[in-house]
């Protein structure tokens, strides 16, 4: 390959053209399973949270069933307010342990799956966690049926999803699949559309949640959740074709090969021109910090609004739906408009993080409902950040190294929930009385650091003028970090 073929700069239209296949015509692939699983999660997330709060109240804190029954209601009543703080403090511990269980499997598998998928295909990385998620959803139904099960039984429902790779494997497979079937010209938009479809599932699920609960009850909602995930699994297993030509059949023995870890490390940490190694590591840290914040707030957002604004499922669902809708519209419109005026992936991703910082600070100090919606409006562009960072990585890495770079992202992402669950739950537990919004101020600081790191990568990109080339062991490289 000649030096002029590729540059480690975003402005070059010929970035990453090494053996690149032409993009395929647009068709629904990863959009269907990601939409469906997010729809299921949004539909049932508050239901299982309420069930766990109720079980804590009855089994762990030994209050009467009548005292604790308001926790199961989609509309919050003042009768549970005096128990709220006590139950929430205990629930942070249950949530912490479950997150640790759910994250341990992905943390181990993340070291292998990216490089493994270069040989054995992307599709298994999506099919496996969907199967595990379906099993976990079925266990949630059993947990809800068994009135005698205390809240700690809920921790065990995370085991199947964890052992099959969890969200780490699912997203790694989905985004490498999209990278395989797209070109540089349409990859940014396609990845943004994938994120938007994912968010659309959350939007519809959030809007429908309280109404479906009122209509059919908590148990049936959990059954619907399991059925939706089974549909996602069947669709992916039957109708989605493998994106990697010549993929070999693999098994557990081919996956747990320490040589895969060594290959990932050697590829991601080797010298590259234009401070390419530093760029990749900064992008990885940026993505990891974003995941850190996402997982940290995921299990606390609902109970935060219960404590701070006295919301119930209905109020939170409407807010979550409005927030998601604004994010979807803002992300797609932002990417389209940004490309029209010549903005690259990184400036738009920086805007996305700064948009999220504004939202988090508003939510941290919110005392009324309208302020939460104002924060959602400020955050309209935050949905651009994650897909554009991934898109940028596919453009600055050689085609044969993209999955390995995503494997590095995957490995860091898998570790984040293990740490964030401890940090966020501990912080919320100790500030719930004095300042429960501390978790949002902390998150705003982290995302601001992410924006700064992206600005540094942009500086390296603009400054770099050396054509991109593959760096072999016997080729000296200048200006490396």
Assign residue 121 the CATH number of its domain.
Answer: 1.20.1250.20
Does residue 85 lie in a domain region? Answer: yes
Residue span of the structural domain in which 435 resides: 17-465
pLDDT digits (tens, 9 = 90+) for 253-272: 788 778 878 888 887 788 77
Mean pLDDT of 296-303: 84
Mean pLDDT of 305-317: 81
Does residue 477 lie in a domain region? Answer: no
Does residue 473 lie in a domain region? Answer: no
Which pLDDT score is estimated for 9?
37
Does residue 4 lie in a domain region? Answer: no
Does residue 285 lie in a domain region? Answer: yes
Burial of 19 (0-12, 13-18, 19+ CB in 10 A): exposed
- Mean pLDDT score across all residues of the chain: 81
pLDDT digits (tens, 9 = 90+) for 458-468: 988 887 643 33
* pLDDT of 13 above 50: no
Place 163 in a pLDDT band, splitting at 50, 70 and 90: very high
Higher pLDDT, 142 or 68: 142
Does residue 230 lie in a domain region? Answer: yes
Does residue 11 lie in a domain region? Answer: no
* pLDDT of 377 above 90: yes
Does residue 10 lie in a domain region? Answer: no
Q: How many domains does the chain fold into?
A: 1
């Amino acid at each position: 390959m000649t030096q002029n073929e590729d540059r480690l700069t975003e402005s070059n239209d010929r970035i990453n053209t090494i053996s690149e296949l032409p993009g395929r015509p647009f068709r629904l692939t990863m959009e269907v399973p990601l939409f469906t699983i997010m729809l299921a999660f949004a539909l049932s997330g508050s239901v299982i949270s309420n069930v766990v709060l109720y079980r804590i109240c009855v089994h762990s804190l030994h209050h009467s069933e009548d005292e604790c029954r308001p926790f199961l209601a989609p509309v919050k009543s003042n009768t549970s307010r005096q128990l709220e703080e006590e139950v929430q403090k205990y629930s942070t511990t249950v949530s912490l342990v479950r997150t640790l269980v759910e994250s341990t499997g992905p943390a181990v598998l993340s070291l292998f799956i990216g490089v493994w998928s270069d040989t054995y295909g992307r599709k298994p990385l999506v099919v496996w966690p969907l199967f595990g998620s379906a099993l976990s959803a079925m266990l949630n139904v059993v947990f809800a049926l068994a009135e005698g099960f205390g809240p700690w039984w809920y921790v065990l429902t995370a085991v199947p999803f964890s052992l099959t790779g969890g969200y780490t494997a699912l997203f790694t497979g989905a985004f490498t699949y999209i990278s395989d079937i797209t070109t540089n010209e349409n990859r940014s938009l396609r990845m943004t559309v994938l994120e938007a479809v994912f968010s659309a599932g959350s939007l519809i699920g959030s809007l429908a949640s309280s109404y479906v609960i009122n209509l059919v009850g908590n148990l049936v909602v959990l059954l619907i959740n399991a059925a939706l995930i089974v549909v996602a699994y069947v669709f992916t297993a039957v109708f989605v074709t493998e994106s990697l030509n010549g993929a070999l059949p693999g098994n557990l023995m081919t996956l747990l090969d320490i040589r895969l870890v060594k290959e990932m490390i050697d590829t991601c940490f080797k010298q590259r021109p234009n401070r390419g190694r530093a760029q990749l590591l900064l992008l990885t840290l940026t993505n990891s910090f974003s995941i850190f914040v996402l997982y940290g707030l995921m299990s606390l957002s609902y109970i935060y609004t219960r404590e701070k604004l006295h919301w119930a499922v209905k109020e939170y669902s409407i807010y979550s739906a409005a927030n998601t809708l604004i994010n979807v519209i803002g992300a797609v419109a932002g990417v389209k408009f940004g490309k029209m005026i010549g903005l690259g992936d990184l400036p738009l991703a920086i805007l996305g993080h700064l948009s999220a910082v504004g939202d988090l600070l508003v939510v941290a100090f919110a005392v009324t409902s309208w302020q939460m919606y104002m924060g959602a409006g400020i955050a309209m562009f935050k949905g651009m950040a994650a897909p554009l960072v991934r898109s940028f990585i596919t453009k600055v890495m050689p085609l044969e190294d993209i999955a390995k770079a995503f494997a590095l992202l995957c490995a860091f992402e898998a570790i984040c929930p293990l740490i964030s669950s401890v940090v966020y739950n501990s912080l919320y537990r100790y500030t719930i009385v004095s300042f429960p919004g501390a978790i949002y101020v902390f998150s705003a600081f982290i995302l601001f650091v992410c924006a700064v790191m992206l600005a540094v990568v942009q500086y390296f990109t603009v400054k770099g003028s050396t054509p991109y080339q593959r760096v072999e062991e016997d080729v000296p490289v200048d200006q490396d970090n």
